[in-house]
Amino acid sequence: MASGPPSGAKKEQWGTRVGLVLAVAGNAVGLGNFLRFPAQAAQNGGGAFLVPYLISFVLMGLPLLWVEWAIGRHGGQYGHHSSPGMFARLGRARWLKYVGVFGLFTNLTVAAYYCYIESWTLAYVWHSLRGTFEATPPTTFFPEYLGTTNSDIAAIPYEAAGFFLATLTLNVWLLSRGLVRGVELAAKIGMPLLLGFGAVLAIKGLLLGTGDPGVVESPLVGLNFVWEPQASGLFNPSTWLAAAGQIFFTLSVGMGSIHCYAAYLRERDDIALNATTAGTVNEFVEVILGGSILIPIATAYLGLAAVQAATAGGSGFGLGFLTLPTLFNQWGWFGPIAGAMWFGLLFFAGITSSLAMGQPVLAFLQDEFKVKREKAALGFGLATLLLGGLVVVLYPGGTFDEFDFWTGTFSLIVFALAEVLIFGWIFGIDRGWAELNKGADLRLPSFYKYVIKYVTPLFILVVLFGALVKPSVGWSEAASQLMSTGAGRSRSTACSASCSTSARPAATSTRAARSRRCSSRT
Ligand code: PHE
The pLDDT of residue 77 is above 90: yes
**pLDDT on residue 488:** 35
* 258, 82 contact by CB (below 8 A): no
Residue 18 lies in a domain: no
Q: Rounded to whole angstroms, how far apart are CA atoms 434 and 429?
A: 8
pLDDT band at 491 (very low <50, low <70, confident <90, very high): very low
Residue 254 lies in a domain: yes
Q: Rounded to whole angstroms, how far apart are CA atoms 182 and 452?
A: 34
**Share in percent of the chain as helix, strand, coil (round to 5):** 75, 0, 25
pLDDT in tens, 131-159: 999 999 999 999 899 887 766 666 778 99
Domain count of the chain?
1
Residue 16 lies in a domain: no
* 499, 469 contact by CB (below 8 A): no
Find the range with the poorest average confidence among 255-269, 330-344, 446-460, 500-514.
500-514
The pLDDT of residue 408 is above 90: no
Structural domain for 163, as ranges: 34-517
The pLDDT of residue 97 is above 90: yes
pLDDT band at 480 (very low <50, low <70, confident <90, very high): low
Whether the CB of 416 sits within 6 Å of ligand 1: no
**pLDDT on residue 68:** 98
* 289, 33 contact by CB (below 8 A): yes
Residue 13 lies in a domain: no
Better pLDDT: 281 or 475: 281
* Ligand 1 pocket, mutate which of 40, 109, 261, 353 (most atoms under 8 A from CB): 353
228 Cα to the center of ligand 1, angstroms: 26
Residue 22 lies in a domain: no
Give the count of beta carbons closer than 10 Å to the beta carbon of residue 464: 16
Residue 1 lies in a domain: no
> What CATH number is associated with residue 320?
1.10.4160
**pLDDT on residue 350:** 97
Residue 26 lies in a domain: no
Whether the CB of 272 sits within 6 Å of ligand 1: no
pLDDT band at 101 (very low <50, low <70, confident <90, very high): very high
Residue 14 lies in a domain: no
440: left (phi over 0), alpha (psi -120 to 50) or beta: beta
The amino acid present at 491, given as its one-letter code, is: R
Percentage of residues of the chain with pLDDT beyond 70:
84
The CA-atom distances, in angstroms, between 178 and each of 9, 260, 280, 388 are 17, 13, 26, 23
The pLDDT of residue 313 is above 80: no
Considering just the CA atoms, what is the radius of gyration of the chain in Å?
22
**pLDDT on residue 485:** 44
pLDDT in tens, 9-58: 457 899 998 999 999 999 999 999 999 899 889 888 888 999 999 999 99
Indicate the average pLDDT of the chain: 85
The CA-atom distances, in angstroms, between 106 and each of 90, 173, 206, 248 are 20, 22, 38, 13
* 436, 271 contact by CB (below 8 A): yes
The pLDDT of residue 508 is above 90: no
DSSP 423: I
Please, what is the Cα angle at 54 between 198 and 462, to 5 degrees?
A: 130
392 Cα to the center of ligand 1, angstroms: 20
SS3 state at 12:
coil
Residue 258 alpha carbon, nearest atom of ligand 1: 11
**pLDDT on residue 148:** 77
The pLDDT of residue 371 is above 60: yes
36's CB contacts (< 8 A; 6+ apart) are 246, 249, 250, 314, 315, 316, 506
SS3 state at 272:
helix
10 Å CB burial of residue 210 (0-12, 13-18, 19+) is: exposed
pLDDT in tens, 238-260: 788 888 888 988 999 999 999 99
Percentage of residues of the chain with pLDDT beyond 90:
67
pLDDT in tens, 214-236: 999 999 999 999 998 888 888 88
Phi, psi of 151 (to 5 degrees): -75, -20
Q: Rounded to whole angstroms, how far apart are CA atoms 290 and 376?
A: 34
pLDDT in tens, 268-310: 999 999 999 999 999 999 999 999 999 999 999 999 999 988 8
Residue 31 alpha carbon, nearest atom of ligand 1: 12
pLDDT band at 492 (very low <50, low <70, confident <90, very high): very low
SS3 state at 157:
coil
